[in-house]
Structure 1
Amino acid sequence: MEYLYDTHFHLDLQKDRFAAIREIEQQQIYTIAVTNLPDLYRKESVELRSKYIRFALGFHPELIHLYKKQIPMMWNLLPYARYIGEIGLDFVDTTYKEDQIAFFSELIERCRYDEDKILTIHSRRAVRQVLQIIGKDFRFKPILHWFTGSKGELFDAIETGFYISVNLSMMESRKFLTLLPLIPKNRLLLETDSPFTRNWDTHSGTLKKTTQLIVECQEDINLWDNFKTILV
């Protein structure tokens, strides 16, 4: 049976957070709810409880220079969080590039040998740098969220052991559709990155549509088994 799941969902940024939670519960969508700041993670992981929602401790790369005072909180919470995200690098604006690199490098070193951790990683215009910082010696499970890199970077990520999470907007990208057949079936995962992508009516509808499109390109794929694998 194919259950629904979402490895990258911004619960706190939904127009109606409680409606989003109701749909997750009713449709039984196993959801990794990423956060953009440690303080948001601290609050939400305490306030909201659900069988289907797991909160991820995050610090969005574009916010690091604005909220440096929260960095110690990130390190204090990190040992107790299994799911980490949204974290990574974003070089659309390189003004604070060094701040991002320093923070992400320390984060990876703190997680490097923790085989229980699952990281959902932002890498916009910075895939190569993300791969270089992580390297090949690690035990956590890395997911490249919304991959927009090159074919060579994709091959390097797959060889290193990364998973690739796919949303509906990616399935409407000609560039990504040329890369999709190159990704091993057991390395593909689902995400929505909602509310930052075009949705298909509802959360569950978006996931079902994304699954349908992936299956049309990758026959005999079991996306639910892939999700179970990262949880083990």
Structure 2
Amino acid sequence: MDFHCHLDLYPNAREVFAQAVEKNMFTWLVTTSPRAFSATSKVLGGHENVLITPGLHPEIVHERYIELDTLIEQIKHVAAVGEVGLDGSKRFQHSYEAQHKVFTSVVAQCANVGGRVLSIHSRQAVRDVLAVLNEHPGFGTAVLHWFTGTAAELRSASEMGCWFSIGPAAFNSASGKALAKKLPRDRVVPESDGPFAQVNGATVMPWSAGQTAELLAQAWDVPVGEVIMGLELNARRLIGLIHGAG
């Protein structure tokens, strides 16, 4: 299982895709732009256990803002959306206003069409992400990917009903390990965020859920088998929500 993966951006994408189809019960391939969604759907689409979704990554909003109208149209025809969100880090502060317009438009459209499941980027922008979601009741289900906010922000997101996708690279830092302990255990699913995420210099692959389960078991101080069962149960619930949208 992998609930957030840029499978199309691996150097050997076709090969990795074929392995993911074989090894994973489910892989959520998030795209970074509407044009990438169209191209990836043509090249890699058609497998029932791979979900390919349209997005507009906040890091490239300044380059792809013109594609927003295309994304708004695509949302009508899909059950889930991603990767979308906000990035408040210094590096992308210059485009934050545009990011906010894009994310607000996306969430509003999700509400307009009856709700979607969203894979959301929230680096140094959790409060604003949650505010936008709050402004649009009926937007659907939020999955905060690789959450790096504060403990208080995690609590706020949890109370709002957000889900969380987490992968092995999230445990690279002490703060990541501390947040993992506090995740709502009935709303956690595995992700890789490959090929961007790395552990010990190695790229995380889409079939890393077992590694994530082991790390969560350590964080939660429970048997790994219990975590594996819980993640699978959560995964099936979230997949059900995706199938119920659109």
**Fold-level similarity (TM above 0.5):** yes
8 Å contact 2:2–2:26 — kept in the other structure? yes
> 1:44, 1:111 → 2: CA distance?
22
Q: Which residue is equivalent to 1:90?
A: 87
User: Which blocks of at least 5 consecutive residues in structure 1 are unaligned?
Assistant: none
Secondary structure at 1:161 match in 2: coil
Greater helix share, structure number:
2
Q: Which residue is equivalent to 2:151?
A: 151
Encode CA deviations 1:84-132: one digit per residue, 9 max, x unaligned: 1110001222111111111111111111265652100001111111011
Residue among 2, 8, 24 paired with 2:4: 8
1:15-94 aligned within 5 A: 15-48=11-44, 49-92=46-89, 93-94=92-93
> 1:129, 1:71 → 2: CA distance?
19
Distance 1:163 1:113, change over 3 A: farther
Q: Which moved more, 1:23-32 or 1:71-80?
A: 23-32
User: Which blocks of at least 5 consecutive residues in structure 2 are unaligned?
Assistant: 241-246
Please report the TM-score for the alignment, with normalisation by the length of structure 2. Answer: 0.86
Residue 25 (structure 1) shift: 2.2
Distance 1:156 1:202, change over 3 A: closer
Q: Which residue is equivalent to 2:166?
A: 166
Matched, 1:140 2:140: yes
Distance 1:23 1:29, change over 3 A: farther
Secondary structure at 1:227 match in 2: helix
Residue 23 (structure 1) shift: 1.1
Residue 51 (structure 1) shift: 2.5
Amino acid at match of 1:21: F
Q: Percent identity between the aligned chains?
A: 26
Secondary structure at 1:95 match in 2: helix
Residue 191 (structure 1) shift: 0.4
Distance 1:107 1:116, change over 3 A: closer
> 1:106, 1:202 → 2: CA distance?
32
Amino acid at match of 1:51: E
Question: Moved runs in structure 1, 4+ residues, more than 6 A?
Answer: none
Alignment: residue pair count: 228
> 1:201, 1:74 → 2: CA distance?
29
Q: Which residue is equivalent to 1:212?
A: 214
Secondary structure at 2:32 match in 1: coil
Amino acid at match of 1:16: N
Q: Which residue is equivalent to 1:189?
A: 189
> 2:123, 2:170 → 1: CA distance?
13
8 Å contact 2:118–2:142 — kept in the other structure? yes
